[in-house]
A and B are shown apart, each in its own frame.
Chain A
Amino acid sequence: MSLNKNNKYTYLLIFFTIVINAQKNNINEKTAVLTQELEKVVVTATRTKKLISSVAMPVEIVSKKEIQQINAMRLNEVLEEQTGLITVPDYGGAAGVQMQGLDSQYTLILIDGVPLIGRIAGSLDINRISVGNIAQIEIVKGASSSLYGNDALGGVINIITEKPIRGTKVNMNYRGDSFNTHDFNSTIAIKKGDVSISAFINRYQNAGYDLNKTDDIKTIDPYVNHTFNTTIIYKINNKLRLNVSSRIYNQEQEYVPTANLKGKENANEWNNHLVLKYKENENFNGLFDFYITNYKTNSYLNNTDTNSLDSESYFDQLLVKPELRIVYKTKYHSEIVGGIGLNYETLDRTDFSTKPFFSAPYVFLQYDKVIGKRTNVILGARFDNHNKYKSQFSPKFAINYKANNHLNLKGSVGYGFKAPDFRQLYFDFTNNAVGYTVVGYNAVKTVIPRLEQQGQINNIIVPISSFDNKLNAENSLSINFGANFKASSLFSLSANVFKNNIKNLIDTRVIANKTNGQNVFSYYNIHDVYTQGIEINTTLKPSQQLKIKAGYQYLIAKDESVKQKFKNGNVFARDKNGSSFLLARNDYFGLFNRSKHMVNLKFYYNIPAWKLDTNLRTTYRSKYGISDTNDNGYLDKYDRFIKGYAIADFAINKNIAKHYKLGFGIDNITNFKDAQNISNIPGRIIYGKINIQF
């Protein structure tokens, strides 16, 4: 359903009509409602358990129930339906998530509080994560480096896996669809006495798809992946508890980039996570956390014409992360969280000048105080020491004011940073076909003299001496201010205004010309970028059967220096005849891949008598630019844009007998596709699902 402007207004109009009608119904049925849903608890925002309404930061929770209702298989399917989040595929096809207008490399992705690794080109592929054993997803928006350090610049997404509850539980799911995708997962959980064990297994097979039939290659090549997850929780005594979980993931994908090149790409990941929790009493507990994870990929390409090996590449990253944390509640309504830890990280990769390692010890402290009956103040800070870039100090301040039983006002200011990654420091890559070279910041001093010696350098544009200082971490100051209003269980509304000022954004520039006419590129700190906007979410329950959720995000994302250039009249474009003309100040559109408007509207309807639930969800994003088609370096209104579009999904689920549940649905009902520009939307998907549990 590609909406043109007229349709867009109709769509909004329908939405508001529904809102108004629904409110009318509220009054009639208010008295009929007796049940009150239990309020959700969130841990990611403060690393302590908090009721969602009392958290001072903007937080969203996606529950297991919601994941099940939409019959999602992978994390990206869940996240792209949330307000303000979209998944954006990068060059390699990895689906990263954009949050508050910040690129996916600026969002930290955690599983049970510890980070996932394997950002090959910056973004983390969230398609990697099966949602089959997720208890809830917590999304914290705004810089959160005061607790989580590196990467928590735009926000944090924490995936909380399910923990066994009393007895034995077996759960099996299968979903198959019209694109020949097969997802099977099963959980077995046993809790007996002081020990609980759970095991999760998932096999996901995707046949890939081809949006452009005229060329020789597929848009997405077929792949299969497996996830195994086990958790053991052992209550050693009343004060001590041990939690060991391990996750293994592997994926094998066909790799056919051109008609005569054929190969395979393998990914292997393992995570081991040990938590030893000591609880002295209600007021004091301590926790030792040990996490070790490895992400490895291998790929090769064979030339089918000559029957010989064309190329091979590998990526092997290891992270070891011990952390010690304590939580202490004082008599004076305050809570102190303190932690100390170390990030030790190595990477072995093709096209690297060395096998680098990062070693970064850190310490953090958070003071959480309730003042009077209405105000909660949080003060936190973290210090990260680093062997390869400048040390970082990340403070945060947040406040929550409970105006009355219906209204909460919230504000937070925080610092976030993203350290230069290994690629930006140690890359040593020459493109064989075209001949250009990309060199990491720290590798410049060895690579340029080598290229000079080989007679490949024509002239040097940026002298090597300017690489004496360390590359700065990208950092941001983020401000969030919002309100939560809950009239009753029938109606709630929340709004959050945000602004992220990002400094020292890392980009590439030409540092030398080569004798072959090509350039040597390296990384440097340049841009000051900002993103700002407002996010609004509302939930309506006109009746016990019907729930309506709607969300909207307005976003402006611009580069400050580019804005200035447009203002000063330094930017030109070329008209259809080929003549240059000056661009006006408001011709600057902003950063690539940002939509000004994002809307979602979801209806959930259930008929308890039939044990049936159904839902219809739509998401809309307004126009955005993906490339600088007139090559002046900036996204201006004369570049080509992708028109705004909407995706609508439908699902229906019914319980049969005691142990069975059948599901059916259509994702992307209108069969929206854009073969040229949007590679991650395959078209209409019709699926069926079966769930067995006992």
Chain B
Amino acid sequence: MNTIKFLTFAILFAFTTISCNDDNDDNIATSELKVKTVSNLHALQESDYTTNPPTISGDYIKFSFSTGTTTTGEDWDIAFRGTTILVNSGTATAADQPARTGNAQLYIANETTFANVTEVDTSLFKSDDATNGLAIAVAPNNGWYSYSGEPYHRITSTSGKIIVIKTNDGHYAKMEIESYYKDKDASNSANPDNSISGAQYYTFKYVYQAENTTKF
């Protein structure tokens, strides 16, 4: 059994190495389309249920695809707080949100895989909107995530949903949220205490297309 496992591993390893080499040799433009991963981006949101309605607080964590880092400036593309994701264009839907000063837009490509999103459909882009709501709806099963309900209260990034972004600097990016839990470990999701459940930690992978093309 162990031998088989090892062999599989070795073959897989060899295969990955070889395919990477192929990419590098093949085409310089696509070699820049590296899949990058952001791990454990903490988007803390606190809720105080002693008031009615509950008081929700916390800073939105802003992210820029061109730099691949979080930012506090106006150059952000998307921002996270709890399960809410904002895009930097249009109008705010609540008073405690950052002002939308940019041109970033996004849409969710449904029923597909990360690899299969090879071209941007520019007709689908949306901005946040005070009357029509956020570009990514906050409600479970309607936006980016599914909610398991009783008894696990687990938030899962809905499989088959890829977020396609038009960035502030006019380029395109695609991202897939992999997990909402610290170190991708959702095993303690039932615990209402976020410090134990490890909730509100985003891990996502993305590709940023630096060239002037709608293709990935």
Known interface pairs A516-B53, A578-B176, A580-B114. Does A510 touch B159 (Cβ–Cβ under 8 Å)?
A: no
Report B18 CB to chain A, min CB distance, Å: 19
A517 and B83 in contact (CB under 8 A), knowing A574-B157, A579-B113?
Answer: yes
A420→B49 CA distance, assembly (Å)? 34
CB distance from A260 to the nearest CB of B (A): 13
The verdict on A579 contacting B178 (CB below 8 Å), with A434-B153, A516-B53 known, is yes
Question: Which one of B83, B141, B142, B192 contacts A433 once the chains associate, using CB atoms below 8 Å?
Answer: B192
CA distance in complex: A627, B186 (Å): 15
What is the CA–CA distance of A573 and B83 in the complex, to the nearest angstrom?
A: 20
List the one stretch of B57-65, B68-76, B131-139 in contact with chain A.
B131-139
- The list of the 8 closest CB pairs from A to B, nearest first, reads A578-B178, A572-B160, A631-B156, A572-B159, A631-B146, A580-B159, A513-B139, A574-B159
User: Among the interface residues B112, B140, B150, which one has the most CB atoms of the partner chain A within 10 A?
Assistant: B140
Residues facing A in B81-97 (CB within 8 A) are: 82-84
Given A458-B133, A517-B83, A631-B158, does the pair A581, B54 have CB atoms closer than 8 Å? no
Whether the Cβ atoms of A579 and B153 lie closer than 8 Å is no
Least CB distance from B25 to A in Å reads: 25
- Determine the chain B residues whose CB is within 8 A of the CB of A526 once the complex forms: none
* Nearest A residue to B47, CB-CB: A516
Cβ-defined contact, B192 with A580, below 8 A: no
Give the chain B neighbours of A518 by CB distance below 8 A. 139
Interface string of A627-643 (1 = CB under 8 A from B): 11011110000000000
Q: List 18 A-B contacts (CB under 8 A).
A: A433-B49, A433-B192, A515-B53, A516-B53, A516-B54, A517-B83, A517-B139, A574-B159, A578-B157, A578-B176, A578-B203, A580-B161, A581-B113, A630-B156, A631-B154, A631-B158, A632-B158, A633-B146
A628 / chain B contacts, CB cutoff of 8 Å: 148
Q: Do A580 and B113 touch across chains, with their CB atoms under 8 A apart?
A: yes
A577 CA to B177 CA, complexed, in Å: 11
The answer to whether B100 has its CB under 8 Å from any CB of chain A is no
Q: Which chain B residue shows the least CB distance to A565?
A: B111
Most chain A C-beta atoms within 10 Å of own C-beta, residue among B54, B160, B205: B160
How far is A515 from B47 in the complex, measured between Cα atoms in Å? 13
Interface string of A567-587 (1 = CB under 8 A from B): 001111110011111100000
A412 to chain B minimum Cβ distance, whole angstroms, is 39
Chain A residues near B179 (CB-CB < 8 A): 578
Residue B162 at the chain A interface, CB threshold 8 Å: yes
Q: Which of A433, A434, A569 has the most CB of B within 10 A?
A: A434
Q: Which of A616-670 contact B (CB under 8 A)?
A: 627-628, 630-633
Which of these, B114, B159, B192, B205, contacts A632 with CB under 8 Å?
B159
A456 at the interface (CB under 8 A from B): yes
Whether B53 pairs with A510 at a CB distance below 8 angstroms is no
Contacts of A459 in B (CB 8 A): 133
Give the nearest-CB partner of B93 in chain A. A458
Contacts of B203 in A (CB 8 A): 578
Q: How far in angstroms is the closest Cβ of chain A from B57?
A: 14
**A513 and B133 alpha carbons, distance in the complex (Å):** 11
Q: How far is the CA of A203 from the CA of B46 in the complex (A)?
A: 51
* Known contacts A572-B159, A633-B141; 10 further A-B pairs (Cβ under 8 A): A433-B49, A458-B133, A510-B140, A517-B84, A573-B159, A574-B156, A574-B157, A577-B178, A579-B114, A582-B160
Give A521's nearest chain B residue, CB to CB.
B149
Q: Which one of A456, A627, A630 contacts B159 once the chains associate, using CB atoms below 8 Å? A: A630
Interface contact B142-A513, CB-CB below 8 Å: yes
Within 589-641 of A, Cβ neighbours of B (below 8 Å) are at: 627-628, 630-633
Q: Which of A444-481 contact B (CB under 8 A)?
A: 455-456, 458-459, 461
**Interface flags, A157-173, vs B, CB<8A=1, else 0:** 00000000000000000
Collect the chain B residues with CB atoms within 8 Å of residue A580's CB. 112-114, 159-162, 176
> Interface residues of B, CB < 8 Å — how many?
38
Distance of A507 from chain B, by nearest CB (Å): 13
| Nearest CB of chain B from residue A223's CB, rounded to whole Å | 22
Q: Taking the complex as formed, is B184 at the interface, i.e. its CB lies under 8 A from any CB of chain A?
A: yes
Q: Do residues A91 and B139 form an inter-chain contact, with CB atoms below 8 A?
A: no
Which residues from B are CB-within-8-Å of A433? 49, 192
Q: Is A356 among interface residues, defined by CB-CB distance under 8 A?
A: no
Asked whether any CB of chain B lies closer than 8 Å to the CB of A435, the reply is yes
Asked whether, in the complex, the Cβ of B83 is within 8 Å of the Cβ of A582, the reply is: no
Beyond A574-B178, A578-B203, whether A510 also contacts B139 by CB under 8 A is yes
Determine the residue in chain B with the shortest Cβ distance to A508.
B149
What is the CA–CA distance of A513 and B82 in the complex, to the nearest angstrom? 17
Please give me the residue from chain B that is nearest to A572 by CB atom.
B160
B-side binding surface: helix, strand, loop or mixed? loop
Q: Nearest chain B CB to A44's CB is how many angstroms away? A: 36
Q: Chain B contacts of A571 at CB under 8 A?
A: 160
Complex CA distance for A572 and B160, rounded to whole angstroms: 5
CB closest chain-B residue, reference A574? B159
CB atoms of A572 and B148 under 8 A apart: no
Q: How far is the CB of A227 from chain B (nearest CB, A)?
A: 32
Q: Please measure, in the bound complex, the distance between the C-alpha atom of A43 and the C-alpha atom of B123, giving whole angstroms.
A: 67
On chain A, the number of residues with a Cβ less than 8 Å from chain B's Cβ atoms is: 34
- Nearest-Cβ distance from residue A580 to partner chain B, whole angstroms: 4
B15 nearest CB across to chain A (Å): 16
The answer for the CA separation of A581 and B141 in the assembled complex, in Å, is 18
> Is there a chain B Cβ closer than 8 Å to A185's Cβ?
no
Cβ distance A185 to chain B, nearest Cβ, rounded Å: 36
**A513–B111 contact, CB under 8 A?**
no
Q: Which of B118-146 contact A (CB under 8 A)?
A: 133, 137-142, 146
A578:B133 contact, CB within 8 angstroms: no
Residues of A within 8 A of B176 (CB): 578-580
Residue A691 lies at the interface, judged by CB distance under 8 Å to chain B: no
Contact between B141 and A510, CB atoms less than 8 A apart: yes
In the bound complex, what is the Cα–Cα distance between A461 and B114 (angstroms)?
A: 29
Who on chain A is nearest to B178 by CB? A578
B82 partner residues in chain A, CB cutoff 8 A: 517
* Bound-state Cα–Cα, A594 to B111, Å: 27
Task: State whether B111 touches A572 (Cβ < 8 A).
Answer: yes
- The answer to whether B148 and A631 touch across the interface, beta carbons within 8 angstroms, is yes
Q: Within A508-526, which residues are at the interface with B (CB < 8 Å)?
A: 510, 513, 515-519
Separation in Å of the B4 CB from the closest CB of chain A? Answer: 18
Contact, CB under 8 Å: B156 / A513: no
- Residues on A with C-beta less than 8 A from B53 are 455-456, 515-516
* Residues of chain B contacted by A456 (CB below 8 angstroms): 53
Select the residue from A435, A455, A517 with max chain B CB neighbours within 10 A: A517
A510 and B142: CB pair below 8 A?
yes
Q: Which of A91, A573, A578, A630 contacts B150 (CB 8 A)?
A: A91
A682 CA / B158 CA spacing, docked (Å)? 36
State whether B139 touches A519 (Cβ < 8 A).
Answer: yes
Please give, as numbers and ranges, the residues of chain B lying within 8 Å of A581 by CB-CB distance.
113, 159
A488 CA to B176 CA in the complex, in Å?
67
Residues of A within 8 A of B140 (CB): 510, 519
Nearest chain A CB to B45 CB, angstrom units: 10
Which residues of A have CB within 8 Å of B192? 433
* A436 nearest CB neighbor, chain B only: B149
B113 partner residues in chain A, CB cutoff 8 A? 572, 579-582
Residue among A435, A510, A518, A578 with most chain B CB within 10 A: A578
By a CB distance below 8 angstroms, the chain A residues around B139 are: 510, 513, 517-519
Q: Mark B13-48, 1 if CB is under 8 A from A, else 0.
A: 000000000000000000000000000000000000
Tell me which residues across on chain A come within 8 A of B138, comparing CB atoms: 513, 517
Q: Provide the residues of chain B in CB contact with A519, threshold 8 Å.
A: 139-140
